[in-house]
Amino acid sequence: MAYSSTFEDALLRVQSFAKRADINAEITEALCHPKEMMSVSLPIRMDDGTKQYFSAYRCRYNNILGPTKGGIRFHPNVNSDEVQALALWMTIKCAVLDIPFGGAKGGITVNPKDLSPMELERLSRAYMRAMVNFISPHRDIPAPDVNTNALIMAWMLDEYESIKREHSPDVITGKPVELGGSLGRDDATGRGAYLCTLELIKVMGWSPNNLTVAIQGFGNGGYHIAQLLEKVGCKIVAVSDSQGGIYAEEGFHIDSLWQEKQRSRQVRAVYCDGSVCELINHHPITNAELLELDVDILIPAALEGVITKDNAHQIKAKAIVEIANGPILFEADDILASKGIKVIPDVLANAGGVTVSYFEWVQNRSGQHWSLDDVHQKLKDKMIDAFSQVWTLAEQKNYSLREAAYINALNRISTATSKLGTHHYFKQT
Ligand code: GLU
């Protein structure tokens, strides 16, 4: 199929895996229709006195397993098609991890780097004002995603609480710890992916020492997994951001790259001793070249749709860990499988974020504060458990890890949905 829509691509996967697992057709059909979609224009008074209009969306995809959950992204490419696909993936992701949430996603079509801090605050508050009846602690709980962070969650929480005139920290996750956020939420996505990667290394009989790793996208998730993998001996040989990438055979010192990225907003090949950073030997590479490097582990941690049928044949990595949502198109799945490449799918690999969001929501609802050790241990248990369920099913049935993850999720969603009655039940009565 030609790649026309992210949502259609996401649906094709669900339909194909559901068929393979013999999921009831009525339930598969239910999963092809987003429950609710809110689409608004946000008028914002800019600092220069002009008014600009920003398109914004929130999709609650499916809530059979619990209130809907998912982040809000600020990006120029946000549109309703993408938001629906992302909300469907959240539905699958929460079910893979067996956490009691449905799936949702939201976004604003904007490049936040073009806004002043005050314009960004006005836009974030306007989003929550527009969505205030769509969102609630029992209905739909947002969180950060691409280009959004704890500060933006704090503004949105403050707006919600001002309108509702009540304290309601459980309406949003990924907020600052001082406002009810959870310890361990900031690095949870990278840590969850790291835990899955370690499990894969174990079951494959590899050793982390000197495994080479390339990371496309050096944001929050990419940085944290890089730092954790570096600690267990992996060599991070390539890193990129939207401007391009860098490659060094001997590997980078991740905290130096991060320090420089915070300072210059660029990925630069430096080694820092304290605050003094020096350029090291490296080759500049493009994002496309990074994906095709001969490394052990490739980590796409930027945006969707970067591995397609056109470049899948050129991928040389032994394993791919999807930290981004949807970096591999459905059309590329079989090509990668035929090359024997193990793919830890996004709905498992990047689920650490929503898992700690769930912990945050539980803490808010029960008035507790868990220690960092507690959060780390609980996250580890959850990720290892989900990984091993997926791995076991994949081995038993000769499924890819993505198929096995989806089938575990579809079975959970299908069992819950069927408790309301199916065609089979009503036909008999
Ligand atoms: N935006 C993250 C994701 O795609 C986190 C969602 C959440 O914490 O609700 O999984």
% helix, strand, coil for the chain, step of 5? 45, 20, 35
Pocket of ligand 1 (CB under 6 A): 69-71, 143, 145, 173-174, 325, 350, 353-354, 357
- Neighbouring CB atoms inside 10 A of 97's CB total 25
* Type and span of the H or E element at 42: strand 36-45
**Spatial separation of the C-alpha atoms in residues 278 and 260, rounded to whole Å:** 10
**Spatial separation of the C-alpha atoms in residues 428 and 217, rounded to whole Å:** 54
The DSSP output letter for 162 is H
pLDDT in tens, 211-270: 999 999 999 999 999 999 999 999 999 999 999 999 999 999 999 999 999 999 999 999
Q: Is residue 1 very low, low, confident or very high in pLDDT (cuts 50, 70, 90)?
A: very low
Tokens read off for 137: 């602690």
Lowest-pLDDT choice from 8-22, 51-65, 285-299, 411-425: 411-425
**Spatial separation of the C-alpha atoms in residues 112 and 78, rounded to whole Å:** 12
pLDDT in tens, 127-184: 999 999 999 999 999 999 999 999 999 999 999 999 999 999 999 999 999 999 999 9
pTM metric for this prediction: 0.96
Measured in degrees and rounded to the nearest 5, phi and psi for residue 74 equal -110, 110
Q: Give percent above pLDDT 70 in the chain.
A: 99
Q: Which of 105, 235, 261, 342 is catalytic?
A: 105
Domains of the chain, each with CATH number or no CATH? 36-169 (3.40.50.10860), 188-349 (3.40.50.720)
Task: Yes or no: say if 16 and 29 are a contact pair by the CB < 8 Å rule.
Answer: no
Among 317, 321, 364, which residue's Cα sits nearest to residue 226? 321
**DSSP-based three-state secondary structure for 388:** helix
- Residue 66 has a pLDDT of 98
Q: Please state, rounded to an integer, the average pLDDT across all residues of the chain.
A: 96
Pocket test for ligand 1, best of 6, 65, 93, 145 (most atoms within 8 A of CB): 145
Give yes or no: 35 in active site: no
- Residue 424 has a pLDDT of 82
Pocket test for ligand 1, best of 189, 322, 358 (most atoms within 8 A of CB): 189
Beta partners for residue 36, in sequence order = 60
Q: Which atom of ligand 1 is nearest to the CA of 144?
A: 1
On the question of pLDDT at 89 being above 70, the answer is yes
Q: Is residue 429 very low, low, confident or very high in pLDDT (cuts 50, 70, 90)?
A: low
**Spatial separation of the C-alpha atoms in residues 408 and 22, rounded to whole Å:** 12
Q: Is residue 3 very low, low, confident or very high in pLDDT (cuts 50, 70, 90)?
A: low
